Structure 1
Amino acid sequence: MAQQIAQLFTRIGQIGFGVAVVGGVINSALYNVDAGHRAVIFDRFTGIRQSAVGEGTHFFIPWVQRPIIYDARTRPRKVPVITGSKDLQTVNITLRVLFRPLPDHLPRIYTTLGIDYEDRVLPSIVNEVLKAVVARYDAGELITQREKVSRNVSQELTQRASQFGIMLDDISITHLTFGREFTQAVELKQVAQQEAERAKFLVDKAEQEKKAAIISAEGDATAARLIAKSFGEAGEGLVELRRLEAAEDIAYRLSKNRNVMYLPSNQPTLLQLPSQ
């Protein structure tokens, strides 16, 4: 009886070991594709499968097959470029792109570019397109027509990236500066323009003051002519009138002075008595 029980436990252990082995094999034959990702299957006998695997849990044959997981979500990347404008000015420009791989092109991307496809493609095509587009504009146009420049870069870069199976969802110029010499020249030009405006203001002010002086002189001359005309027409009467007005003003001022004494004009004073 004891021997039979021992054999029963041995069989149960064998079954458990077999289940564990089968479970381990099954687990090793499963792989997960997370949300926003895609998988490319490499087969040792047939090569790369021409269709990408979507999200979820999938089976593969261990040792024979190997899944390569790609991030298919949109990601940002900044690419700085130093190039030249149409008028031979040095331009420092930075482009930010939002990119993602096209799922249907992932097998070709893995075959031709590998896992780090963005490092192999984006810096080179961004540099190429930016230099070609910026060379069509001079420095002033790059500032005043920035939207047009960005649109041309976006169109040409999107077309260029699609040749590699890469989709560009957004392209924008985040940084645009010029060389030190050009920046200094712009600053000097602005200072010169401000000084020219100030000189123009001073000239206009002097011109207005000149006109005001001429108008004032013309007014004074007209007034002098009118006074002379009045004297000529009124003769001695106007002079006598002015004399009386002056005498009246003097008398009024003297009457307000306490130190002035008035004496009758027809009575002799001490100063007028005859001496003995």
Structure 2
Amino acid sequence: MRYQNPQNWQAVVAGIIAAAVLLLSLSSFIIITPGQAGVMSILGKAREGVLLEGIHIKPPLISTIDIYDLTVQKFEVPAQSSTKDLQELSASFAINFRLDPTQVVNIRRTQGTLQNIVSKIIAPQTQESFKIAAAERTVEEAITQRDILKRDFDEALSSRLDKYGIIILDTSVVDLTFSAEFSKAVEEKQIAEQRAQRGVYIAQEAEQQAQAEINIAQGKAEAQRLLAETLKAQGGSLVLMKEAIEAWKLGGGQVPKVLVINGDSNSGVPFLFNLGNLEETPSL
């Protein structure tokens, strides 16, 4: 039977010990990258003090490091509520937030993972904040005053999440819907308003047309009054004769059937007779 050299055994043991020491040395350090924060737990208990970016020493084998992302996180959260006039209102909010670095240890102790933060804190608080904002106005006001609704929601949500170490950076209303009954009522109201506006337009158009006819009638009456005054005045017969000559010209310059003769200079109306009657009179 052959025996191994004791020196070989010593070399193997020394190698194992060196490897173990190397592994322990490597596991005694943790690197936190920018945008992250770490929480050290020893034997399952979270220690005070947040591990920020850089290299940190940790006890090997008995410690663990939980890493939290401090960059901006975005989640879309649905919410439902009843308005002041008891109408159902549904919304979907896109929420941008990040974790407060100084509160990461408390977050680790109370909430654990980021998924727990969203499902157990942000989602229910979003629902409650939306109820607060929607209950202060009617569904029509919620639609027409959407910016005010969002402002009230932001204030309620920020105040509720601040104590959990969650900083709200921005929110946006992705979708805002209401019941089918209210949608139908809105549509009917819009149709009625359009009809009313059309009726107002027709009434205004009729009024303008009537006023135009009144203006035309007044213009004609004024023209006739002025013409009558002109004919009554001295030289009015000349005006009438001028009108007769103009009519003669418009007729092509032919001898008219009706001849105007100023027989009596004192008469306001000239003597008129039809030349056609002369042609029909038998000769003597």
Which residue in 1 is equivalent to 2:253? Answer: 252
The aligned residue for residue 86 of structure 1 is 84
Deviation for aligned residue 1:35: 2.2
Give the RMSD, CA atoms, in angstroms: 3.4
SS at match of 1:127: helix
The aligned residue for residue 136 of structure 2 is 136
Q: Which residue of 1 aligns with 2:49?
A: 51
Partner SS state of residue 159, structure 2: helix
Structure 2 vs 1, CA of residues 185 and 14 (structure 1 numbering), >3 Å: closer, same or farther? same
Aligned residues: 249
Residue type of the partner of 1:39? G
What pairs with 1:94-109 in structure 2 (closer than 5 Å)?
A: 94-109=92-107
Task: Give the stretch that moved more between structures: 213-222 or 19-28.
Answer: 213-222
**2:160 equivalent to 1:160:** yes
Structure-2 residue corresponding to 1:261: none
1:74-103 deviation per Cα after TM superposition (whole angstroms, max 9, x unaligned): 211111112122222222222222222222
Q: CA deviation at 1:240?
A: 9.7
- Structure 1 letter corresponding to 2:180: R
TM-score relative to the length of structure 1:
0.74
Distance 1:66 1:35 in 2: 19
Cα displacement (A) at 1:12: 5.0
- Residue ranges of structure 2 left out of the alignment (5+ in a row): 256-284
Question: Is contact 2:132-2:156 (8 Å) kept?
Answer: no
Match status 1:119 vs 2:119? yes
Deviation at 1:129, TM superposition (A): 0.9
Specify the alignment match of 2:187 in structure 1: 187
Percent of paired sites with the same residue: 28
Q: Give the TM-score of the pair, scaled to structure 2.
A: 0.72
243 and 120 in structure 1: CA distance in 2 versus 1, 3 angstrom threshold: closer
1:188 is displaced (CA, Å) by 2.3
Deviation at 1:31, TM superposition (A): 3.2
**Structure 1 unpaired stretches of 5+:** 1-5, 255-276
Structure 1 match to 2:19: 20
CA distance in 1, matches of 2:227, 2:89: 75
Following the alignment from structure 1 to structure 2, what is the Cα–Cα distance between the partners of residues 125 and 21? Answer: 49
| Alpha-carbon distance change, 56 to 226 in structure 1, aligned in 2, over 3 angstroms | closer
Cα drift, residue 233 of structure 1:
6.9
Q: For residues 249 and 34 of structure 2, what CA distance do their matches in structure 1 show?
A: 112
Aligned partners of 1:247, 1:69: CA distance in 2, in Å? 110
- 2:60 is the alignment partner of 1:31: no
